[in-house]
Amino acid sequence: MLIKKRTINLGIILLMSIFLISFLSASFCCERTDSGAWCQPEENEESCDASYDSVQTSCEATGYCRTGTCIDNNNGLCMPNTAERTCADEGGSWDIRTTSEIPQCQLGCCLIGEQAAFVTQVRCESLASQYGQQSNYRADITDEMTCLASANPSEKGACVFTNDKNQKDCDMITREECQSRQTTTTPVESTPGFFERIFGGGTEETPALSELGVSFYAGFLCSAEELNTICGPRGGTVCGDDGKVYFQDTCNNKANVYDNSKLNVDDYWTHLREPSCDDGAGNKGSSTCGDCDYLSGSICRQKKVGEATSYGNFICRNLDCLSYSNADEGFTGDNHPKHGEKWCAKSSGVGEITTTTNGTDVTITGGSNSLTDNLPGSKYYFKTCSNSEVITTPCAEFRDEVCVQSDLDETDAVFRNAVCKMQVYTQCYFQNSSKDCENKELRDCRWMETGYAFSTNGLINKTETEETKNNAQIPNGICVPLYAPGFDRTSSDAKKNGAEICTLASSACVVTYNVPLGQGALTKQISELTLQQKIDICKKYKGKNCQCLQPDWALGMNSMCISLGDCGTKNNLIGKAGEIREVVVITAANSTL
């Protein structure tokens, strides 16, 4: 009986094994199903996509469904447990190794701006390119928690540490500076991160309060009571790098901007807060508010005698030039130069040049009076009010630059601005029409209707002969610089010392006195006669070019000369005048001398 029973049991086991093998072999491994799924078992082979492989076995036993790591080389992403064919169809590189075995799949800390992400180096560079920023890849940070805690490196806060006296000390510094002192890992609490959408799960980390090692508390002040440091509130005031007045704690750390109304407000000594006090006009000279505004003309300075503050020793100093007064320049009474204001200085021998704007047209006036402006030796200057002091700055030598001032009307006053403007005048002398001469986009010139024209041989009198009157090629005027330039008389270069330019307007008028025989004594005394006597004699005896004896002729010719630059006869900077010389030559010819 016993033997028979064993035989029956063996037969049952054998039958069950055959049935099990038959059941397992009934399914097919589809590399891709008709529904688009990859490496799925199906009861019927008809459910497999005919374009791909299918075998009646388990998917784990196939070569085409074996899994590995798919590497996206463009974006630096590594996808584990991915089939080889799936990876190839997605444009990736397949590797049978796990991500931990592949060098390019190793993760590090990617710092972009104020954000952090735990990604590969290639992914870090890709993200930096997308956002147009520089990246800082830290391969030495090998865990995500430490990496995410490195976000916002420039964020200010309280860095708590144990000093050499075993006291709980504190510095107000950035997260990055504090982390450089880090000796232990601080517990963190997570909040949604900037990269969460991109990476499918990243977080920014805000360190929680901790007393372990060096800890950073973003947004906290060292005087915060809950930090329990040796630093307390109300340690005076100090100037910040941004020019504002700040409260100080008892450890000499900057706290919030000085606001006397918040002196005893606990939260103002606990968290970083934006200033809310405002005494107007950039808080110039305010005794209660330290929110100085450099652009409005105030900056933090230690208070002086006569200045008062409700707390501390620093004040928003007025940067306007309150001690400057100059009636010639328009500063009298309470009208003082404002900080940043510039204006043309009143200097000897130059004219005031101002600009007025009408829509898009700009008109420049002044500085073109040849007799009183731009005298030999003169130079333009402009002045600047900066940090309560007036600074004088010269324009270029030889009046290559002129000072041009424009006045901007503000709601309560005029704000002046001045610049040294380079003169573009070297092409003036060659223009033959007023239109070309006064083309302000190309040159700084003005047209003079003189009846004369420039030539290489000197001046041409347009009205002297019929030939010159009818010659359309000879203009009825000359083109001269808008503001007469200066010349370097010490230079041997004719272009620099003005010799070539002054020659353009040089003119000699020969006056002939037709004195009859027997009047020789009169001729010899011509140089001693008065101008009117000379004119009378020239007209009486019908001399030639008698008009050149008229004062208007000399003045007209001289006005052309001095308009060219340091030419002609006019007072120089020290008041010395030039002169027009008369040369008398006596010649005997038949009945005339």
Do 209 and 236 contact (CB within 8 A), yes or no?
no
From 105, 125, 159, give the residue that closes a domain.
Answer: 105
Q: Which two tokens stand for residue 578?
A: 């030039």
Inside any domain, residue 5: no
Chain segment 526-561, per-residue pLDDT in tens = 767 788 888 888 888 788 888 888 877 877 888 888
Q: Are residues 171 and 186 in the same domain?
A: yes
Inside any domain, residue 563: yes
What confidence score (pLDDT) does residue 184 get? 43
Residue 225 vs residues 158, 256, 266, 387, 440: alpha-carbon distances, Å: 12, 15, 9, 39, 69
Q: Are residues 150 and 133 in the same domain?
A: yes
Domain total in the chain: 5
CA distance 239 to 257: 10
Q: Are residues 554 and 494 in the same domain?
A: yes
Share of the chain above pLDDT 90, in %: 26
pLDDT band at 169 (very low <50, low <70, confident <90, very high): very high
The identity of residue 485, as a single letter, is P
Do 535 and 551 contact (CB within 8 A), yes or no?
no
Q: Which residue has the higher pLDDT, 69 or 184?
A: 69
Q: Are residues 113 and 201 in the same domain?
A: yes
> What is the rounded average pLDDT of the residues 444-456?
87
Q: Which residue has the higher pLDDT, 195 or 139?
A: 139
Chain segment 57-91, per-residue pLDDT in tens = 888 778 778 788 898 888 888 888 888 877 888 88
Lowest mean pLDDT among 152-161, 311-320, 507-516: 507-516
What confidence score (pLDDT) does residue 233 get? 97
Q: Does the pLDDT at position 472 exceed 90?
A: no
What confidence score (pLDDT) does residue 357 get? 56
Q: Which residue has the higher pLDDT, 516 or 474?
A: 474
What confidence score (pLDDT) does residue 263 get? 97
pLDDT band at 394 (very low <50, low <70, confident <90, very high): very high
Burial class (CB in 10 A: 0-12, 13-18, 19+), 149: buried
Q: Are residues 95 and 197 in the same domain?
A: no
What confidence score (pLDDT) does residue 181 get? 79
Q: Are residues 308 and 333 in the same domain?
A: no
Inside any domain, residue 491: yes
Lowest mean pLDDT among 17-31, 136-150, 362-376, 575-589: 575-589
What confidence score (pLDDT) does residue 348 get? 76
From 90, 105, 120, give the residue that closes a domain.
Answer: 105
Q: Does the pLDDT at position 9 exceed 50?
A: no
Beta strands in 139-244 (DSSP E): 156-162, 168-174, 188-192, 203-207, 215-218, 237-239
What confidence score (pLDDT) does residue 4 get? 41
Inside any domain, residue 471: no
Bridge partners (DSSP) of residue 454 are: 459
In the three-class reduction of DSSP (H, G, I as helix; E, B as strand; rest coil), residue 314 is classed as strand
CA distance 593 to 591: 7
Q: Are residues 95 and 115 in the same domain?
A: no
Inside any domain, residue 257: yes
CA distance 278 to 257: 12
Q: Does the pLDDT at position 395 exceed 70?
A: yes
Do 369 and 443 contact (CB within 8 A), yes or no?
no
CA distance 43 to 544: 131
CA distance 390 to 324: 8
Domain residues for the domain of 81 are: 67-105
Q: Are residues 209 and 246 in the same domain?
A: no
Do 53 and 44 contact (CB within 8 A), yes or no?
no
Q: Which residue has the higher pLDDT, 194 or 471?
A: 471
Out of 65-69, 359-363, 401-405, give the one with best mean pLDDT: 401-405
Inside any domain, residue 342: yes
Q: Are residues 302 and 393 in the same domain?
A: no
Inside any domain, residue 454: no
Q: Are residues 93 and 115 in the same domain?
A: no
Q: Does the pLDDT at position 450 exceed 80?
A: yes
Q: Are residues 152 and 201 in the same domain?
A: yes
From 264, 288, 318, give the residue that closes a domain.
Answer: 318
Chain segment 567-579, per-residue pLDDT in tens = 877 766 565 555 5
What are the backbone angles phi and psi of residue 282, rounded to the nearest 5°?
70, 20
Chain segment 302-359, per-residue pLDDT in tens = 998 888 999 999 999 999 998 899 988 888 888 899 999 999 888 777 766 666 555 5
Q: Does the pLDDT at position 10 exceed 50?
A: no
What confidence score (pLDDT) does residue 591 get? 34
Inside any domain, residue 12: no
What confidence score (pLDDT) does residue 578 get? 55
What confidence score (pLDDT) does residue 254 get? 97
Q: Pairing between strand 401-409 and 354-358?
A: parallel
Q: Are residues 303 and 352 in the same domain?
A: no
What confidence score (pLDDT) does residue 137 get? 87
